[in-house]
Structure 1
């Protein structure tokens, strides 16, 4: 089943000091499923050699570089520039959603402020991103699961002493809770309802973190779950805790049954009529 691309107007604001340019193509491709990147800006001190690798990506994707000199050693002026621009864009009223690309917890308050104003906030960062920023976003996407940008070592521009990546939540516990919370009396839950629950419970939930491209694929691979249906009608239940699904009689079958019953009644009526005629003739 194909889905219509969203026309949501989206501002993509990238903390270049904290993000590697190798992720840019993949993250923009990912964001294209959420909306149209109306604004694309990257913030950093472009006079430093550390950001030299960004030039090709800026040109390739028409990202506007925003220069911010580091006026004081140890202070991140880039964060302030990005935050000020985000608030200006918020009050311009031309955008419906924001994508904040950074693994820096300093943007936590910005994310909550944008959401308080009714804007959808997507966060994109590395697995080491502090939980405060992850929880502040409507949806948080880890860069490691996008394209070929898996990170095997320290990230360019990363903060020293940054928190290590937190372990993934236990998948069986997570999916079992989701099924129990969304199932009907028969024990079955719609896959779409499970997906909404998981996103609501954890903004960073992503089946790709567990090696599956789609939620349906992830669910079908779990031995403690059972599924039925196909396409948008997939239902999920815990094994041993569901009522067998009975297939309703389809309209074509129902019509066939009706035709058969009508034909039987007609034949019976004709037979009775012939018998009556014979009796009358013999009397």
Structure 2
């Protein structure tokens, strides 16, 4: 598992895409990621569809059943798309029909929107490129970098990172501290903790944390790669799926 808030398969989500600020080539992977968090009951993409700069979106709009929302660029240099998306988001919020929003953009203009939605008790998932300003990233409950979704997409200029070595991982002081703190925070007397709890703690501290950033598909793979943690795969029985527990190797010394 990658670190995410608890997966909510029954969660009703509104997916709002700033087409002026997102690439159509990763839409399929993006929506597959959204499906991990809930069901997209609304899928809208905003932009000036009368121009030529969004022509690459047409196939994706049709194949993924995304509703295009037209917003004319009234003034050069001003982004009217942002305003349209903000207004729609608030209209959808006030209906009370949704459990959360997925905001797809690398634009910091949506920082306040993310905060406002969370103030209403709804969860916010952000999606954007690594250039996304930090204020928007931390305003979301969970933020996923588009680059981490490209592993299953067609080749692009930005490929997913190769797995980082154990030596380099252990040399990343901030990463090691984050992982160890998350394991320690909810461990039992023997030092063991359910991996899902570790992921939730990390996400609360770092909304943009993703094991894929380090070249590992799952959090368990990342923990194992550091060689700083002991992992235990346990089968509860009664046909229930196996669960993974982690423990800091220092606890055994």
The answer to whether the aligner puts 1:224 opposite 2:239 as a matched pair is no
Tell whether 2:153 aligns with 1:148: yes
Counterpart in the other structure of 2:81 = 78
Q: What are the ranges of 5 or more consecutive residues in structure 2 without an aligned counterpart?
A: 1-5, 159-171, 236-241
- C-alpha change, 1:208 and 1:4, in structure 2 (3 Å) is closer
Partner of 2:189: 185
Contact 2:45/2:67, CA 8 A, preserved across alignment:
yes
Secondary structure at the counterpart of residue 84 of structure 2 = helix
Deviation at 1:149, TM superposition (A): 6.3
For the pair shown, which has the larger CA radius of gyration, 1 or 2? 1
User: Which one of the candidate residues 29, 32, 37 is aligned to 2:32?
Assistant: 29
How many equivalent pairs are there?
228
Cα RMSD of the aligned pairs, angstroms, is 2.3
Residue in 2 that maps onto 1:242? 252
Aligned to 2:175: 171
1:208 corresponds to 2:212: yes
Q: How many angstroms does 1:152 deviate by?
A: 3.0
Contact 1:98 1:122 in 2 (8 A): yes
Please give the alpha-carbon distance, in whole angstroms, between the structure 2 residues aligned to 1:177 and 1:150.
Answer: 37
Paired residues of 1:9 and 1:96 also in contact (CA < 8 A): yes
For residue 221 of structure 1, report the CA deviation from its aligned partner.
Answer: 1.8
For the residues of structure 2 that align with 1:242 and 1:188, how far apart are their CA atoms? 11
For residues 176-228 of structure 1, what are the alpha-carbon distances to aligned partners after superposition, in whole Å with 9 as ceiling and x for unaligned?
22222222333333222211111111111111111111111221222122223
Unaligned runs of 5+ in 1: 154-167, 244-283
Matches of 1:226 and 1:4 in 2, distance apart? 25
Per the alignment, do residues 237 and 174 of structure 1 end up closer, same or farther by CA in structure 2, a change over 3 Å counting? Answer: same
> Deviation digits for residues 136-176 of structure 1, max 9, x if unmatched?
111111111113267636xxxxxxxxxxxxxx984323212
Alpha-carbon separation, structure 2, partners of 1:95 and 1:226: 39
Name the CA shift for 1:69/1:169 in 2 (closer, same or farther; >3 Å).
farther
Query: Residues 150 and 177 of structure 1: is their aligned pair in 2 closer, same or farther, counting only changes over 3 Å?
Result: farther
Q: How does the TM-score come out when normalised to structure 1?
A: 0.75
C-alpha distance in 1, partners of 2:13/2:100?
5
Q: Deviations over 1:241-264 (max 9, x none)?
A: 237xxxxxxxxxxxxxxxxxxxxx
Given that residues 22 and 104 in structure 2 are in contact (C-alpha distance below 8 angstroms), is that contact kept between their aligned partners in structure 1?
Answer: yes
Compared with structure 1, are the counterparts of its residues 116 and 5 closer, same or farther at alpha carbon in structure 2 (3 Å cutoff)? closer
Q: Contact 1:98–1:119 at 8 Å: present in 2 too?
A: yes
CA-to-aligned-CA distance 1:221-240 (integer Å, 9 cap, x gap): 22122223335543222223
Higher relative contact order, chain-length normalized (CA < 8 Å, sep 6+): 2
Counterpart in 2 of 1:12?
A: 15
Alignment-derived partner of residue 268 in structure 1: none
Q: Secondary structure at the match of 2:209?
A: coil
SS at match of 1:212: coil
Counterparts of 2:18 and 2:250 in 1: how far apart (Å)? 49
The SS at the match of 2:251 is: coil
